[in-house]
């Protein structure tokens, strides 16, 4: 699954079956379905990663971190700080 491409229909946006979301390039485990929530963006939204090393992050701009796979570096999008469903939560 790639979070950085949107071609008019992200197949995992409305997918809420239990399971683990993995990197489309290397299969590294990224997010649990328990951390997934409904959001108005066209991409899937998560509140937390599966493990602390699931992703790598770097500051892109205030309030947003660029996120990539913690194993292979595949681009996954962003972490938006304090934009999750609850106060103080991030949105991936």
- Domain of residue 29 covers 20-91
Residue 57 lies in a domain: yes
Distance, CA of 28 to CA of 49 (rounded, Å): 12
Question: Is a pLDDT exceeding 70 seen at residue 33?
Answer: yes
| Residues 81 and 64 sit within 8 Å (Cβ to Cβ) | yes
Residue 11 confidence (pLDDT): 63
Q: 55 near 67, Cβ under 8 Å? A: yes
Burial class (CB in 10 A: 0-12, 13-18, 19+), 5: exposed
CATH label of the domain that carries residue 34: 2.170.150.20
Q: What does the pLDDT read at residue 67?
A: 96
pLDDT tens string 48-66: 999 999 999 999 999 999 9
Q: What is the pLDDT of residue 12?
A: 64
In a domain, 5, yes or no: no
Q: Is 80 exposed, middle or buried (0-12, 13-18, 19+ CB in 10 A)?
A: middle
Residue 52 resides in a domain:
yes
Residue 10's pLDDT band (cuts 50, 70, 90): low
Reported residue count of the chain is 92
């Amino acid at each position: 699954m790639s979070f950085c491409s949107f071609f008019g229909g992200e197949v995992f946006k409305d997918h809420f079956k239990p399971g683990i979301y993995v990197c489309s390039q290397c299969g590294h485990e990224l997010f649990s379905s328990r951390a997934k929530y409904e959001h108005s963006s066209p991409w899937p939204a998560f509140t937390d990663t599966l493990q602390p090393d699931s992703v790598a992050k770097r500051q892109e701009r205030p309030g947003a971190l660029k996120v990539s796979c913690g194993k292979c570096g595949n681009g996954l999008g962003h972490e938006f700080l304090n934009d999750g469903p609850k106060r103080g939560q991030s949105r991936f």
